[in-house]
């Protein structure tokens, strides 16, 4: 799983903390409650933790799955083809991938503008090839 340098720093710090809780192999995130101390967090518990943090931060619609949507949308914004994004995400079909990609009108307008700049430049180049040496446009 790819992650940023900043996330790497946070993960390294957490691993030091985790070692203080338990050195046992197993789940990455461990409970620090008295009831389940040093036991791996279940997916349900992890979701509840993320939900609580999101509510406290005022980001009501954030969930554990939000980062997956953001990652795949960012790949689309960078110009990755949908088939490459699907492969990266582990999807067998691109229709599954399309549910994760949320491009805004601004994203689409910028992509269109870049494409039109490229097309315009190609057309100008073609027109210039036909007029070289004549001093006039076709």
Cα distance between residue 49 and residue 32, in whole Å: 12
* DSSP for residue 41: P
Q: What is the pLDDT of residues 69-82, one digit of tens each?
A: 999 999 999 999 99
Cα distance between residue 5 and residue 12, in whole Å: 11
Q: What is the pLDDT of residues 95-120, one digit of tens each?
A: 999 999 988 899 889 888 888 888 88
Cα distance between residue 82 and residue 104, in whole Å: 16
Cα distance between residue 84 and residue 86, in whole Å: 5
Cα distance between residue 55 and residue 124, in whole Å: 54
This prediction's pTM: 0.65
Average pLDDT on 125-135 reads 73
């Amino acid at each position: 799983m790819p992650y940023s340098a900043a996330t790497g720093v946070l993960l390294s710090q957490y691993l030091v903390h985790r070692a203080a809780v338990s050195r046992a192999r197993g789940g990455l995130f461990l409970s620090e409650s008295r009831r389940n101390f040093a036991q791996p967090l279940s997916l349900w518990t992890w979701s509840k933790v993320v939900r609580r943090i999101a509510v406290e931060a005022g980001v009501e619609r954030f969930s554990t799955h939000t980062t997956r949507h953001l990652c795949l949308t960012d790949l689309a914004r960078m110009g990755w083809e949908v088939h490459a994004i699907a492969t990266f995400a582990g999807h067998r079909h691109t229709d599954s991938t399309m549910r994760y990609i949320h491009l805004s009108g601004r994203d689409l307008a910028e992509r269109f503008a870049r494409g039109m700049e490229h097309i315009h430049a190609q057309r100008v180049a073609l027109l210039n090839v036909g007029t070289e040496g004549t001093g006039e446009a076709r």
